[in-house]
Amino acid sequence: MRFELTKDFLDQLRLAIVEENNTWIIEHIHELHFADIADLLDQLNNEEAKYVYFQLSEDVQADVLMELEEDIRDRFLKSLSSKEMADQLENLDSDDAADILGELPEEKIQEVISQMEDDEAAEDIVELLNYDEDTAGGLMQKEFIKAKMSWPVNRCLVELRRQAENVENVYTIYVVDDANRLVGLLSLKRLLFADIKTHISDLYQKKNIISVKTNDSSDDVAKIMYKYDLVSIPVVDLQNKLVGRITIDDIVDIIKEQADKDFQMATGISDKIESNSSVWRVSRARLPWLLIGMLGGIFAANVISGFTDQISHIPTLALFIPLITAMGGNVGVQSSAIVVQALAKGTDQFDRIFKRLTKEALVGLLNGTFLAAIIYGIATFFGNAILGMVVSISLFVVIIFAGIFGTLIPLILNKYKIDPALATGPFVTTLNDVLGLFIYFTVGILLYS
């Protein structure tokens, strides 16, 4: 039932493009789902993709355009004239059109907008361009369906039919008063089964109307829609006037992006990269993290250089350097990760810090005791009982300290409005490396002297 993109099909399509065999293209492409057509175009070069794209009907064009991979879409749009681009934007939902336009330079934006024929669509887009892209205003679309409280059902049906033409997915009808203030919701289901003479004011849901304001952050919007299980949410301005709606697909994108970002941060990649990004871009995205890591290594070298005398006398001290640094890093990142996740969920507060630190210290005590006991025997085997004591005592101390630092740092970053996920990267690891080595050699000197 679902389309599988094969190399064979691609070859045939390429041939049809060369031969300008539009009958073949229309016959084989028109049947496909727009998401599959987009996948197909992602595989073609720009000229080929353009050729196929302009064989599609306008409605399908809009859907396909939004499903293209970002790089491919940018390349495609860049190759269009302002007039062509204006035509394409008119077919898109207003939020998508504004997102695309927002990426362009100021003059180009004006040029494209002046070429748009549908004044209402152009106005909507211009309005949306005013909002910061990370706010509810930047996410919302102007396509939604509203009904006035005072309408009877039959009038409502007539009005809705007109409005519904532009709205792809109707989940809920927003009910407003005469001043366009949001007063409630009406489900299509309810409307469908209502007597045509009933007034909307007797049908609509007044209680528990969840809406967001245009300047609410997109993270907050995502949290609210997730918490209240909403597939769409109305957006109001400061006077509670209905100005747009946000649909779940945008929120799923935000959740995915946030998760990708946290994951990349935790694994030391500083920029949004895909597996098909260029060598140069991948290299640049990784370098900052590696430089921090290297800086940590240099600090560590500096710490150890204070102990070269001890090392030349007792070279077995060097054996456990990697163990101490690795364990400090691992414990620190583990602790940070739990805090970062809690902060992302909004379940954790800076003022619960003491409780959290106590707990972290307890976990450290438990794991530290267990691991220190194991390493005592092993280090004794590699060196002697003194080395066993040095390694196990310092490991124990390192585990507790690393846990506390790992907990504190993301909380502090968050307090100062810096992304706490930074702490799961090389930052905490590096700090713990240096600290761990210092503890290790200090314990070493104390016990060996």
Residue 254 CB, nearest approach to a second copy (Å): 11
Distance, CA of 435 to CA of 300 (rounded, Å): 9
If one asks whether residue 438 binds a second copy (CB under 8 A), the answer comes out as no
Residue 304 CB, nearest approach to a second copy (Å): 5
SS3 288: helix
Contact residue for a second copy among 18, 196, 298, 373 (CB under 8 A): 298
Contacts with 173 (C-beta within 8 Å, 6 or more apart), sequence order: 145, 146, 147, 156, 160, 185, 186, 187, 188, 191
Which CB, 291 or 418, lies closer to a second copy? 291
* Helix-helix angle 94-102:106-115, to 10 degrees: 140
What residues are paired with 147 via a beta bridge? 175
Within residues 16-45, the interface with a second copy by CB under 8 A covers: 31-33, 35
Contact 140, 244 (CB under 8 A): yes
| Nearest partner of 30 among 13, 18, 42, judged by Cα | 13
The secondary structure element, H or E, covering residue 390 is helix 385-415
| Nearest partner of 251 among 229, 275, 273, judged by Cα | 229
Pattern 193-222, binding to a second copy, x per CB under 8 A?
Answer: x-------------xxxxx-----------
If one asks whether residue 273 binds a second copy (CB under 8 A), the answer comes out as yes
Which CB, 126 or 188, lies closer to a second copy? 188
DSSP state of 148: E
If one asks whether residue 191 binds a second copy (CB under 8 A), the answer comes out as yes
Residue 262 CB, nearest approach to a second copy (Å): 6
What is the identity of the amino acid at 348? D
Options 17-25, 82-90, 109-117, 265-273: segment touching a second copy (CB under 8 A): 265-273
Residue 432 CB, nearest approach to a second copy (Å): 11
DSSP 54-119: TTS-HHHHHHHHHHS-HHHHHHHHHTS-HHHHHHHHHHS-HHHHHHHHHTS-HHHHHHHHHH-S-H
If one asks whether residue 420 binds a second copy (CB under 8 A), the answer comes out as no
Contact residue for a second copy among 18, 196, 294, 385 (CB under 8 A): 294
If one asks whether residue 157 binds a second copy (CB under 8 A), the answer comes out as yes
If one asks whether residue 275 binds a second copy (CB under 8 A), the answer comes out as yes
Which CB, 115 or 217, lies closer to a second copy? 217
| Nearest partner of 208 among 172, 237, 249, judged by Cα | 172
Options 70-78, 115-123, 129-137, 425-433: segment touching a second copy (CB under 8 A): 425-433
Residue 82 CB, nearest approach to a second copy (Å): 28
Contact residue for a second copy among 150, 370, 384, 418 (CB under 8 A): 370
Contact residue for a second copy among 7, 106, 179, 189 (CB under 8 A): 189
Within residues 301-340, the interface with a second copy by CB under 8 A covers: 301-302, 304-305, 308-309, 311-313, 315-316, 318-327, 329-331, 333-334, 336-339
Contact 76, 107 (CB under 8 A): no
Distance, CA of 394 to CA of 442 (rounded, Å): 9
Contact residue for a second copy among 100, 437, 439, 443 (CB under 8 A): 437
